[in-house]
Amino acid sequence: MKTWPRRLRALPAVAVLLAVAGSASTSGAAARAVPRPPARQAAYCRALHAELPATVAGLERGTSRPVSEFTAQWGAPAVVLRCGVPKPEALTEGTKSFDPYAPAWDIGGIEWFAEPRSDGSVRFLATHRAAWVEVTLPKEYAGGGGGTDILAGIAARITKTIPEGYV
């Protein structure tokens, strides 16, 4: 299995989030659909769900709609976590949008791939794990230091429940 080149790490998080939030990409209802991971990934996602905190960076956990053990949310507007999502095309060799130099940053011990959305939100994916975990930060959090705190708070739970690996 080929891996993409080593990416930028430990950049000043505020600058990174501001730069990413200023870009454009797609968004939509598919971003909120409940994932349907294969059995092995589903087991990791269930373990993560059981470990997710009641608060992240001061944001209280709410109830995801639809309710699922593969999703969670905090705050209003909601920071949305989805576990067991498919590998993004930008990181899938052979796809039209594959980018071997796709930006990723180390936050909380997890390498996060950032995918800006047209609405100003940013979709972050935890890479190099046995299940893909997506965290979407609304524009209200994506453009400031709060986004780093949110990702770091979730990263500790991902590290605890989903081993390193490639899906």
| Residue 144: pLDDT band with limits 50, 70, 90 | low
The amino acid at residue 89 is E
Alpha-carbon span 12 to 30, nearest angstrom? 31
pLDDT tens, residue by residue, 10-34 = 334 433 443 443 333 333 444 468 9
Alpha-carbon span 38 to 30, nearest angstrom? 18
| Interstrand relation of 133-137 and 79-83 (parallel, antiparallel or unpaired) | antiparallel
DSSP for 110-133 reads EEEEEEE-TTS-EEEEE-SBSS-E
pLDDT tens, residue by residue, 53-72 = 999 999 999 998 889 999 99
pTM score of the predicted model: 0.80
The amino acid at residue 124 is F
Residue boundaries of the structural domains of the chain = 14-25+36-161
